[in-house]
Amino acid sequence: MTLLLNAKELQETLEKLARQIAAAVPGDVPVAVVGIRRRGETLARRLLPLLEKSGLPPVQYGALDITLYRDDLTTIGPSAVVRKTEVDFDVTDTWLVLVDDVLYTGRSVRAALDALADLGRPRAIRLAVLVDRGLRELPIQADFVGLRADTEPHHVVDVKLVETDGVDRVELNDRRDDG
């Protein structure tokens, strides 16, 4: 196991992301952050006060469940758990920042883009991720990246957050080490 970020570094990385996002916001549009369930949702929620501290007016917040839009349902099988999508505002004409914990193949983001398209037509969609681990299978790139990590397919990037895992840390694990 390699520690990529400890609690303090994770907080600093989020603050850096918030500053990057705030600097990129065009002045004349309503801003929204939408997290991909579940850890992207938690990260998006944490970004809200940081964005305000960076000088943005209050931004809209939502959470997106992409299970029904995935193209790999067959491989993840029945262990996929459908949760609620909670986007209680009109996304049309917003400057929308999609938030996820790890950017890997790009398939989650593709599914999220499809899901967003069914909710409305944002003016622009930007992508913010805590960790970009490379190895894309689709032509998708993040606009705001907290940490870039060189990984191999047999690696697993585990983002642990207090809200869901009781601790803040990002680990790089090797799948081959599991028994």
Partner 1 sequence: MTAATTDKPVWTHKHLLGLADLTAEEITHVLDTAEGFKEVSTRSVKKVPALRGRVVVTMFFEESTRTRTSFELAAQRLSADVLEFSEKMSSTKKGETLLDTARNIEAMGVDIMILRHPAAGAARHLSEAVRCCVINAGDGQHAHPTQALLDLFTIRERKGRLAGLKVAIVGDITHSRVARSDLRGLQKLGAEVTFVGPPTLVPRAFEALGARVTHDFDSILPEMDVINMLRIQKERISSSVFPSLREYVRLFGMNRERLRRCKPDVLIMHPGPVNRGIELAADVADGPHSSILRQVTNGLAVRMAVLFLCQQAAMNVSGQ
- List contacts with partner 1 (CB under 8 A): 36-40, 65-70, 73-86, 100-102, 104, 108, 114-115, 118-120, 157
Q: At closest approach, how far in Å is the CB of 23 from partner 1?
A: 26
Q: What are phi and psi of 27, to 5 degrees?
A: -70, -20
Q: How far is the CB of 86 from partner 1 (least distance, A)?
A: 7
Closest CB to partner 1 among residues 50, 102: 102
Task: Quickly tell me which residue has 């090797």 as its tokens.
Answer: 174
Are 159 and 167 within 8 A, CB to CB? no
Q: How far apart are the first and last CA of the chain?
A: 14
CA distances from 145 to 12, 34, 50, 142, 148 (A): 13, 16, 16, 6, 7
Nearer to partner 1, 24 or 80 (CB): 80
Q: Which is nearer to partner 1, 74 or 166 (CB)?
A: 74
Q: What is the helix (H) or strand (E) element at residue 62, kind and residue range?
A: strand 60-64
Q: What φ, ψ does residue 103 adopt, rounded to 5°?
A: -100, 120
Minimum separation from the CB atom of position 26 to partner 1 (A): 25
Nearest distance, CB of residue 54 and partner 1, angstroms: 25
Q: Which is nearer to partner 1, 8 or 75 (CB)?
A: 75
